[in-house]
Structure 1
């Protein structure tokens, strides 16, 4: 089996494992599925290499994996708690699926920082944040002020900006 199909199979296995992980929670399953879709689209548009796209896709599936544990431990699931709790759970799941160590490390880094918007380190990180914002702004029914602020503060990739403008009917100021 060539590495491309192996990688695709790992992503498909991860997708199914994440659906099982969120058993009975369709909102969370829908969320990570949408984030993955936008992350992949932006990653392809920004011409990520295959390895970076693979890492981005896996991180998009697992980015909020810490929510359940945070809710169980602390009764809440804010971004910082997701970042704190997520990498531990993801590391175990990804290792069981045969992901290579360096890939697991980067995915866990992305999970552990996906609600931290300063010092974004790498295009995969930038794209994950943008994809999560596209979905969260819609799911949270954000107002015009929040939409404007997010566009100006968060979006850096040309593909992410284009999707944002089309999705929200947003017009950039000159």
Structure 2
């Protein structure tokens, strides 16, 4: 069964229309169910201006329904993915508010580092939100491997691209043991997790702050992570 909005049996007058090409201004004929068309005059491909891409921005069957998705929508899918991953993380942990708070804080710091360093926010935030999901059902020793398995299931169900799934799972599986060739995305998640753990240690142990400068020196993989830690732990800017 096709989505009713894309089934021609439900179309009304105006389902076939013309739109001006944003590059050359020539009229281009669109059918209602076409996600994009190429201008026959100048060759510019642009999005159907009358199409509602709301569901396609998150539906994992969007490409089967609409065909090739325009670059603008693909970027929006990546942007929306982090919000849906956050919801899945909260559903997974249920009433374990401590773990939800930890993952949310790691994601917040990881996002700051990702934007500052030019990492991929979709990968970084997905890994940050899901890095500890294995702790619910596995022992601390096995939680990274179990977390990667759960993350793969969540991201697959959300329709994430395969390359993103593979990288996120690799980050989660090794997030306590950084490889020598750790990617920028990995380093953002690792530094954010390290910062949140140091912050929690300082809050639970009054004297922990005395050794912070020494701990910070060898704990972070990026200078940006180290600087963010100084702001959070020493200057208390966040």
Class of the TM-score when normalised by the shorter of the 2 chains: 0.7 to 0.9
> Which runs of 5 or more residues in structure 1 are unaligned?
71-76
Residues in 2 aligned to 1:59 and 1:150: alpha-carbon distance in whole angstroms? 24
Alignment counterpart, residue 158 of structure 1, candidates 210, 216, 223? 223
Residues in 1 aligned to 2:209 and 2:109: alpha-carbon distance in whole angstroms? 21
Alignment of 1:49-128 (within 5 A): 52-70=120-138, 77-78=139-140, 80-128=141-189
Count of aligned residue pairs for this structure pair: 160
Structure 1 residues 108-144: Cα deviation after superposition (integer angstroms, max 9, x where no partner): 0000000003525111111111000111111133624
Q: 1:74 is matched with which residue?
A: none
Structure 1 segments (4+ residues) deviating >4 Å: none
Q: 1:73 is matched with which residue?
A: none
Q: Which structure: larger Rg?
A: 2
The structure-2 alpha-carbon separation of the partners of 1:168 and 1:90, relative to structure 1 and needing over 3 Å to count, comes to same
Q: Check conservation: 1:83, 1:111, Cα contact below 8 A.
A: yes
> Which runs of 5 or more residues in structure 2 are unaligned?
1-52, 54-72
Q: Which moved more, 1:157-166 or 1:95-104?
A: 157-166
Higher strand share goes to which structure? 2
Indicate the RMSD between aligned Cα atoms, in angstroms: 1.8
Residues in 2 aligned to 1:33 and 1:120: alpha-carbon distance in whole angstroms? 26
Structure 1 residues 17-74: Cα deviation after superposition (integer angstroms, max 9, x where no partner): 11111111111110100000000001111122xxx2210110001000110121xxxx
* TM-score, with length taken from structure 1: 0.84
